[in-house]
Amino acid sequence: MLVISCSTSTRLFLKSPASPLCLSCPYSSLKMANIDLVNAIPKLGRKWRAVDGSGEKQSVTVASFDDDNVVDSASTVVSNFYGGINAHDVDSVEYLIAENCVYEDLVFPQPFVGRKEILEFFKKFTNATSTDLQFVIDDLSTKDSSSVGVIWHLEWKGKPFPFSKGCSFYRLEVINGKRQITYGRDCVEPAIKPGNATLTVIRSVTWLLQQFPQLAKWL
């Protein structure tokens, strides 16, 4: 078996045990398998021993990196963010939020701008609520490294809280070696649900804009 390092994955070349060509060339019949080192090897930077067809040992060093340098996925950062809020541990989410992050909670008229302002908001939120009130993630996107969508609801002691369904969107960037939230938007279920009346309002507003285009500047 010969181990060859390749970035964060390693290829293992497995020599077929019953190959007639092995007498002339120890690596004439090889099988290749890919192994994800990030999941397969907890600590990298070790020397591995490989034995070729002649029985001679060869030393192969696998490329190493420190665990602290591994950048968390976008979905992991967002999950940790909700975990910190649920635990009322606002300090733990401080560096998940970028210094110049913009956070929009559509319940409020203006966005919260900057890490300090956002943390102050969540400290007020956690001080005003009990740890019995928890965010529960119903679904979370995991494929994109720069954006995450979340569907969630609130529960009180394990029971759904009224008018608490919501969805959120986050943008993330790697800043100084850490993936951080640079933008967030929360949309929360309204307590008052006008239903079809909403369509009537939209139709009326669009009619006014068509008749009086100058009104658009007030939007």
Residues 6+ positions from 92 with CB-CB distance below 8 Å? 80, 84
How far, in Å, are 26, 28, 50, 56 from residue 21 at the CA level?
8, 6, 20, 18
pLDDT digits (tens, 9 = 90+) for 82-126: 999 999 999 999 999 999 999 999 999 999 999 999 999 999 999
The residues of the chain scoring below 70 in pLDDT are 1-69
pLDDT given for residue 112 in this prediction = 98
Burial 151-188 (b: 16+ CB within 10 A, else e): ebbbeeeeeeeeebbbbbebbbeeeeeebbbbbbebeb
pLDDT given for residue 79 in this prediction = 97
| C-beta atoms surrounding 58 within 10 Å | 11
pLDDT given for residue 20 in this prediction = 42
> What is the CATH code of the structural domain delimited by 74-188?
3.10.450.50
Delimit the domains of the chain by residue range. 2-68, 74-188
Whether the CA torsion 156, 193, 151, 95 is positive or negative: it is negative
**180 and 96 Cβ atoms separated by less than 8 Å:** yes
pLDDT given for residue 44 in this prediction = 41
pTM above 0.75, yes or no: no
pLDDT given for residue 29 in this prediction = 46
How many residues comprise the chain? Answer: 219
Whether the CA torsion 159, 161, 162, 164 is positive or negative: it is negative
